[in-house]
Amino acid sequence: MFYSIKELVDQANTNHNGNISELMIATEIEVTGRTREEIISMMQYNLEVMMNSVVDGLTATKSATGLTGGDALKMDDYIKSGKGLSDSTILSAVRNAMAVNELNAKMGLVCATPTAGSAGCVPAVLESASNKLDLSHEQQIDFLFTAGAFGLVIANNASISGAEGGCQAEVGSASAMAAAALVQAAGGTAFQASQAVAFVIKNLLGLICDPVAGLVEVPCVKRNAMGASFAFVAADMALAGIESKIPTDEVIQAMYQVGTAMPSAFRETAEGGLAKTPTGERLMEEIFGSDK
């Protein structure tokens, strides 16, 4: 078992030739008592749900509130037009993230990674990376175990809950998990994966959770899209050999401190930020009535 990023990297290098996925599987066996086959089977189901959520989310159908839906399809059309300014791999991840979270807003089946509100980042990056790197089914499973290893440390040392730590704890964690897994999928080291985590979290510190009308739609869908793009940039920085001046464990501790100090209005209460803009309040009244 590992309790810090340093322990994660050290144990992966010492016991598993730098393979974080194998470390996470060994940890799951140790903690749950399940067999390797059972653990991999469960992750295969998660993978199936994730990939299906990307496909199922690519629809123009609006959510029940009408707040979200159709933007993923717009991005898909934009990618096909060939007019994109960004790399098509990044744009496809942006599209995928919106697709998953639009599906979530419509009460479709998604895999919380680490939460439903941030469920788009990891599958979005995985699907795009699978095409870019031609990942096998086994490599896709490894991607998810690697992401899970870093998510475990973040959850134990900071938070993955918007109600506790703001959106930095949800989309921030999800984007960091995806970035780390992406580094290893591209052949990077365990240490480089840990640096990608630091890059993402450092640049999302203080991100508030301010859902309009208290719903996981606005701005959640587009924050997942940005989180997916962050993951690719952070992974490239790490693979280039760039290192964080602040150790990753200290970055995660800072995230915890920021989340603890964050006013409750910015922690999933819909009492601050975008939720309290004139348009945000108008939308809430249209959806729930003036008594809210």
pLDDT above 70 coverage of the chain, percent: 99
- Summarised one tens digit per residue, pLDDT across range 2-38 is 999 999 999 999 999 999 999 999 999 999 999 999 9
Per-residue pLDDT reduced to its tens digit, 253-280 = 999 999 999 999 999 999 999 999 999 9
Closest alpha carbon to 112 in 59, 173, 65: 173
Please give the Cα distance from 101 to 240 (Å, whole number).
31
Domains of the chain (ranges, CATH numbers): 5-288 (1.10.4100)
Confidence of residue 292 (pLDDT cuts 50, 70, 90): low
pLDDT at 192: 99
pTM greater than the 0.95 cutoff: yes
Residue 224 to residue 103: CA distance in whole angstroms: 13
Per-residue confidence (pLDDT) for residue 60, from 0 to 100: 77
